Chains A and B, each alone.
Chain A
Amino acid sequence: MHKKPQKSRSKPYFCFDENLQFIELNKKCNKYARFESFVKLMKQQGAKDEQAIKECNKADKHIITHNTKDFKQPASNIKVGIICVGLNSEEDWIPKLIKVFKVLPKHENYYYKTIFIANAITIKDRETDDIRVL
């Protein structure tokens, strides 16, 4: 049996970590992107960092997390984009994330990117090592 070719995505698809702030994110940013929790994707809670990255990559869903350490440098075969939020308050980071969504509106814009949101927004291309600051 032939698998149906996957429709190209326009809006980016993200999987978010087990954190209450992502409820607010879903409400405020659903016009820019689609969100799903790690738990719903993996059908299990409490997944290890590496396992979560692998599953999101398999499902072609970018990742958004508050873990700024282990998600920063994924293995080279990881294609999906990773957004690491380094700010504690959603009032601070959600507007910055909206800025990212406006600059990178499509799903394919995030491939091989690691985006670090702190006081500045840093976008690193993991393939070329190019760094762009918004």
Chain B
Amino acid sequence: MLNKILFPEGDVIPQLPIDLQTEFPHIITDQEIHAGWPHIKGTRILAIDIFRAQVKGYSFSKMIMDFKEMGITVSEKELLEAFRFIVEWLRLDAQKASKISE
């Protein structure tokens, strides 16, 4: 199950738990942006990309600088929320998978 979020196959988007959509106000989905993958509101920045960059050791301050170079304004709060969103999504997904296997 985890692989479908971190390593999606083809064009299939894993199901997004409803709780996540209210808990993280800066992270939204829109069918007309990246086919509905969760992204930071007011940008095209995917939450999953922020998670991947963080895991690779990319700091938020470096991300803010690099996005600025691309002409994109984004705050540390939004980046942190994107990261937490994915962590929570993975947690809920793992929980769901373990319930199914029980």
Which A residues are within 8 Å of any B CB, using their own CB?
17-23, 37-40, 45-50, 52, 66-70, 88
Contact = CB atoms under 8 A, between A and B. Distances in A.
A23 B70 contact: yes
B34 A39 contact: no
B57 interface: no
B86 to A, nearest CB: 13
Contact of B53 (A20, A47, A49): A20
Contacts, number: 65
Interface in B24-72: 30, 32-35, 41-46, 49, 52-53, 58, 63, 66-67, 69-72
Contacts of A37: 70-72
A37 B66 CA distance: 12
Interface of B: 7, 10-11, 30, 32-35, 41-46, 49, 52-53, 58, 63, 66-67, 69-73
Contacts of B67: 18, 20
Contact of B35 (A17, A22, A45, A69): A69
Contacts of B49: 19-21, 66
Given A19-B45, A23-B70, 7 more contacts: A18-B72, A37-B72, A39-B71, A45-B72, A46-B41, A50-B32, A68-B10
B72 A48 contact: no
Contacts of B7: 88
22 contacts: A17-B44, A18-B43, A18-B44, A19-B45, A20-B63, A22-B70, A23-B70, A39-B70, A39-B71, A45-B43, A46-B33, A46-B41, A46-B44, A48-B30, A49-B34, A50-B32, A66-B34, A67-B35, A68-B11, A69-B11, A70-B35, A88-B7
By Cβ-Cβ distance, the 5 closest A-B pairs, closest first, are A18-B44, A39-B71, A37-B70, A48-B32, A69-B35
Contacts of A68: 10-11
Contacts of A52: 44
Of the candidates A40, A46, A66, the one having the most CB atoms from chain B within 10 angstroms of its own CB is: A46
Contacts of B45: 18-19
Contacts of B73: 45
